[in-house]
Amino acid sequence: MYDRRKSRPRQILVSLFCLFALGYFAYHAIVGKRGLEAHSRLIERSRQLEPEIERLEAIRARLERDVRLLDVRDPDIVEELAIEILGFARPGDYIVVAPLPEREPAVRPAPAGP
């Protein structure tokens, strides 16, 4: 026959296990690696990175424009880039070299002894 006294501790253990499992999953749903707090941190981080993303997209658009201009093989564009980036000059161009500012030596000489 069925003994009700033996099932009471078992019911308590099952209930405690279920409560523990529920608490475990609730804790990780809020605080866990992919929980609500992590989600809010990711949203905040994405808001912080938006200006940098926009800046990088503008640089990318400029570079894509430069590549399109180079693909046309326009000699004026190629010459302009060679002068600007590589420092080349056309024959007959005057080159002005500015002197570098003088710096103090990193190590000062020791004073002469007596």
The residue assigned the tokens 């938006």 is 50
Per-residue pLDDT at 98: 81
Residue 113 has pLDDT above 70, yes or no: no
Question: How many CB atoms within 10 Å of residue 84?
Answer: 9
pTM value is: 0.44
Contact 95, 89 (CB under 8 A): yes
Cα–Cα distance measured from residue 22 to residue 114, given in angstroms and rounded to the nearest whole number: 87
Contact 41, 49 (CB under 8 A): no
Q: Per residue in 12-63, pLDDT tens?
A: 999 999 999 999 999 999 998 889 999 999 999 999 999 999 999 999 999 9
Per-residue pLDDT at 112: 67
